[in-house]
């Protein structure tokens, strides 16, 4: 028998009812996690925690892609409100939309590092 499942069925009705009544709509969260599940967009987001803003050319160099590819990913992040942009002369600069985005990326990184420690033990 699988040791990862309950051996008997025992629903804790009060706990289930409480969670069901307090569980918000999570669609907005799933959009964020879907965007950050892409390794390239996650790399861009992390880069923007290291530098407050980067132009599209800088991002392309960081992710080792064309400016068109970098621009596509940056536009995606902007479209779902994870990034903001502004133009300076002929260059377009991007930054994270707010501190929450940076915190989310950094927390995920820290958690992944903890997982690496457990795997090596």
Which domains does the chain show, CATH number per domain?
A: 13-120 (1.10.10.10)
Q: Which pLDDT band holds residue 118 (cuts at 50, 70, 90)? A: low
Count CB neighbours of 108 within 10 A: 15
Type and span of the H or E element at 88: strand 83-88
More confidently predicted of 64 and 1 = 64
The reported pLDDT for the residue numbered 89 is 97
Residue 67, class by beta-carbon neighbours within 10 Å (0-12 exposed, 13-18 middle, 19+ buried)?
middle
Does 119 score more than 70 pLDDT?
no
């Amino acid at each position: 028998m699988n040791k990862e499942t309950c051996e008997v069925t025992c629903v804790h009705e009060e706990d289930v009812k409480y969670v069901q009544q307090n569980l918000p709509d999570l669609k907005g969260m799933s959009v964020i996690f879907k965007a950050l599940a892409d390794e390239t967009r996650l790399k861009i987001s992390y880069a923007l925690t290291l530098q407050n803003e980067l132009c599209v050319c800088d991002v392309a160099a960081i992710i080792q892609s064309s400016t068109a590819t970098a621009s596509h990913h940056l536009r995606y992040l902007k479209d779902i409100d994870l990034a903001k942009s502004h133009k300076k002369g002929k260059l377009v600069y991007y930054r994270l939309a707010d501190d929450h985005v940076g915190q989310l990326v950094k927390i995920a990184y820290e958690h992944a590092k903890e997982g690496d420690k457990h795997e090596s033990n």
